[in-house]
Structure formats: C-alpha cells, structure tokens
Amino acid sequence: MAKMNANVKQVVIAGGGTAGWLSAAILAADRAAVASADFHITLVESPDIAPIGVGEGTWPSMRATLKRIGVSETDFIRECSASFKQGSKFVGWTHGHSEAYYHPFSLPEGYDEVNLAAAWQAFSEQVSFADAVSAQSTLCEHGLAPKQIATPEYVPVANYGYHLDSAKFSNFLQKHCVEKLGVTHVLANISGINSQANGDIASLSLQSGDRIDGDLFVDCTGFTSLLLGQHYQIPLVSQQDILFNDTALAAQVPYARVDDPIASATLATAQTAGWIWDIGLPHRRGVGYVYSSAHITREKAEQQLREYISTGLGAQHAGALDVRELTINPGYRQKLWHKNCVAIGIAAGFIEPLEASALVLVELSATMLSDQFPVNREAVDILARRFNDRFLTQWQRIVEFLKLHYILTRRSDSDYWRDHCGQGTIPERLQELVILWRHQCPWHQDGRFIDDLFPPASFQYVYYGMGGKTQLAANRSQPKGCDEKAMAEFQNNRRKIEQLLGSLPSNRELINKIMQYGLPKI
C-alpha cells in the first residue's frame, strides 16, 4: 500500500520513441546531481515495436530543451541530420492554386507594445501581414538560414526550430541519456502491469520474466497507450468530427542534386482531401500526405502524393519510392494523468501534424513534470489535477488553432473543404473568436497562458494569411501614439529585411559549414 508521505524516487518510463527519451532526458538532466540513491530513471522499450519514426518538425522551444539537457547544438545537427526551420508555408489553402502565406516563428515586431495587425489593415492589399510585420517570411522565401556560422550555439539571429531525422534523434537522445545522464535502458516487452491496493501501478512485468518496480510511471508507448489507455481504460476523446484527417502516407525523397537548396520552412500544400508536408533535411526530404479517408481513397491519395513528388524529381523516380501508411486516430485522452501514471507523447493523444504540435507538447509536458516533480505520493494527486487542467486546455486550444487553418478557405472544389466549413464541425470558442476578429484584431486578450503553444500572434498570421478581414469598429480608436509606433515598427522591419538579406547564408551553406567547423560554443 502506497504511503502518502513516501518519497517518489523511482521513475519508470515505458516507451523509447522521442517522447520517452525526451522525458527521460529532461527529468534526468534536472536531477543529475542527485541521481542514484535518491532518484533513478529506468526506460523500458520493446525490441520488437519500433518507434513511429516520423515527426521531423520542431518548435523553437527545442533549442531551450536541448540546451537544458546538456547537448551541443553542433553534435545534434550533425548526428540527427538536422536543418533549420523558421516556420511553415501554407500553399493553396485559400483558393486551391499557388497562393501561399507564412506562419513564421518570429513574433511581429514590437508585439508586446503595439498590435501591428490594426495598423496593417490600411495597406493589407499591398503587402501580406507576415511580410509587413516580420523579416522571417522573406528569409524563408530566399532559403536563408536563421543565423551565421559565427553565431554561438542555440543563439538565433531570427527565431528558429529544426527539421530533423526522427529515428536518428531518438538514438541521439538515448545515447546521451544512458552515457551522460545515468538513465537505465531496458530492452524488453512489457507483458503485464501490476497494481497496488489503491489502484496505483506497482510494477511492470516483462516478457523476460523480470519486473520493474516504480513510484511514478510515464506512459510513452505511442498509439498503444499501454498504461493509461489499456490498463486504466482512460478513453480517447475523438476530434475526428472537427479535424477529419485520419491517415498519413509518408515517403523519404532524395534531392535531385546534392547541393539542392534546403527549405527553411515546412511546406504544407493543400490537396483535395488533406495536405502534403514537405520537410527539407540535409540529405533528403521527408514528404507525406495527411488526408481524410472518408473523403479520398488510398489509391487516389497515393497518386496525388506521387504527383507532388514527381515535380522536381521526375515521375519515374517518384513512382519508385516506398510509401508507408500510418493510421491516425485524432484525439486526446480524457485524462492525461491518472493515479501514479502520466502519459506523454502519442500515448496521451495525437492530432494531424499541421503545426508540428506533438514534440513541443512532449517538451512542455516533461518540463512541467520535472519542474513540479512530486516529492511524495500526496503531491502526486495534486500535480495530476494541475497537469490535467493545463494540458487538457492545451489540447482544446491546439484543436481550435488547427481548425482555424481550414475554416476561412474559399475552396469548394471538394466535399473535404466544404465539410470543414460546416458550422457543426467548428468548436464554439473558435466560432466566437472569428466573430470578434471581424471587428477587432487578435491580441493578447485572446490567449490564456504565458506559454500558450500558439500565442495570439499565431492567430494573426493564420487569420490574415487565409484572407481574414477586420473592419475596425468605428467606436474603437488605437491608444494615443500607436499609429506612429506602428509605422516605426514597419520601417524597422523593412530595414531588418534588407540587412538580413545581405548577411545571412543559405540554409544549405550554413549546414555545410556546421558539418565542417561546428558552431561556437556558448
């Protein structure tokens, strides 16, 4: 029987995909000084079930995470075949042609003090919102890197995250956790889950006959959700009636030439029943079609994917590539933490990777677990309530934000796009926001947490990128001095663009230099 004042010392992580290893790394690095007698982490993963092996786009938060766990950015870039990502470019979402807009990682200039969206309305026909308020969309259009070879590790000139090879990233984290952070790695299939009298998990039984005892269990078993989903029967709250995409076809695409440019943003190109992601790594591209199986057949979807790939690569090469199918059950668990078990990663939930929200959610979840690590069993229940409250809200906000990408479309070329605009498929809070934004620009009041995954600046980029309009209400005037401040920020942005265009190397050039020389250590 668990005593309420018993210390939490043994953490068992089930699953060795990126969620498992990132969680292990964050928890272990934060406790490197006390590891062994007072605290220990064991990670168990199946030798037979491979990690999902996709998930190649991160948020800028990954820089802080990698720094926190004590790895060098140069090593990370070299060993994980990483490149720089500065945001996403959405092609064909409004009209289904080649029109495009950016959601860059940089906040609009002067974001804390002035809402540039309001001042931009006057010349919205001349310049896109992203181009007017940030240099980053222009940097991406030119395939430029977000820093120079002399810029120290993790320091940005323009805000950035990464594109990376997911399988290499798991191996990189594993090596670091085991060799540097004292995490015990067990390769075995979990065959049973043993309970205490109070319903807590006491231990995991392994097929080998061994048993792993623990005080706290982290479920990172991916779609299996072995502990939270299967053992505790916490149901998945499906989001398929809002975000229809339930299947992905993924391919690894070689460059036509070794020195082809590496895109500095994830390309998301709309199709008739979903969208195609295109991620540039140094040695290949990761390309895949996420679609709704209710709106297109697998054959037709694969044909669209191969047609997309054949541009640049040729139909013959595109036709010969292996394509892997993944089934997505879009949704999140009704509770993410139950008893002494918390789920992180796909075991907690998964929704189409439109804004690469999965790994950043892993980082945020593991960081909260580590920062507020429960000292004893009594604290576990308190933290569980706080964790559930915070991350269930995050999930709802992610769903709303992803849906925003669809609902302003003017496409009517397929049922998929028409259905996405169906009133019954749009969360109520999002419907309300869009009504408000017709007469006021998205701004700080539309956010909730200081570290919201998608701050109101993200709403601005997508809302105006998709052609959303704001007719500022006549009874609202900007606070005194705002117009002058806004004009100064627009000018500042234009100067910044000129200066950065002349000083930043291409993404490919910087990656090549990092391979050769490395970045300066901080």
Ligand X SMILES: Cc1cc2nc3c(=O)[nH]c(=O)nc-3n(C[C@H](O)[C@H](O)[C@H](O)COP(=O)(O)OP(=O)(O)OC[C@H]3O[C@@H](n4cnc5c(N)ncnc54)[C@H](O)[C@@H]3O)c2cc1C
Q: Which residues bind ligand X (CB under 6 A)?
A: 14-20, 44-46, 49, 51-52, 54-57, 166, 189-190, 220-222, 224, 226, 248, 250, 288, 326, 328, 345-347, 353, 356, 358-359
* Closer residue to ligand X, CB minimum distance, 46 or 136: 46
237, 333 in Cβ contact below 8 A? yes
Q: Minimum Å distance from CB 47 to ligand X?
A: 8
92: which DSSP letter? S
What's the distance, Cα to Cα, between the start and end of the chain in Å?
48
* Closer residue to ligand X, CB minimum distance, 330 or 442: 330
Q: How far apart are CA 470 and CA 115, in angstroms?
A: 13
Q: Minimum Å distance from CB 72 to ligand X?
A: 22
Q: Minimum Å distance from CB 439 to ligand X?
A: 35
* Closer residue to ligand X, CB minimum distance, 46 or 304: 46
Extract the tokens encoding 451.
Answer: 């570290």
* Closer residue to ligand X, CB minimum distance, 39 or 289: 289
Burial code (b: 16+ CB inside 10 Å, e: under 16) for 375-398 equals eebeebeebbeebbebbbebbbbb
Burial class (CB within 10 angstroms; exposed 0-12, middle 13-18, buried 19+) of 257: exposed
Q: How far apart are CA 249 and CA 81, in angstroms?
A: 22
Q: How far apart are CA 425 and CA 7, in angstroms?
A: 46
Question: What is the per-residue DSSP string for 7-38?
Answer: B--EEEEE--SHHHHHHHHHHHHHTTTTBTTT
Q: Minimum Å distance from CB 109 to ligand X?
A: 27
Q: Minimum Å distance from CB 166 to ligand X?
A: 6
Region of 481 on the Ramachandran plot (φ > 0 left; ψ -120 to 50 alpha; else beta):
left
202 three-state secondary structure: strand
Q: Minimum Å distance from CB 350 to ligand X?
A: 6
* Closer residue to ligand X, CB minimum distance, 52 or 296: 52
Q: Minimum Å distance from CB 181 to ligand X?
A: 18
Region of 371 on the Ramachandran plot (φ > 0 left; ψ -120 to 50 alpha; else beta):
alpha
* Closer residue to ligand X, CB minimum distance, 229 or 288: 288
Q: Minimum Å distance from CB 366 to ligand X?
A: 11
* Closer residue to ligand X, CB minimum distance, 170 or 493: 170
Please, which residues have CB within 8 angstroms of residue 502's CB and are 6 or more apart in sequence?
none
Q: Minimum Å distance from CB 273 to ligand X?
A: 15
* Closer residue to ligand X, CB minimum distance, 60 or 222: 222
Helix (H) / strand (E) element for 76: namely helix 73-79
219 three-state secondary structure: strand
* Closer residue to ligand X, CB minimum distance, 106 or 245: 245
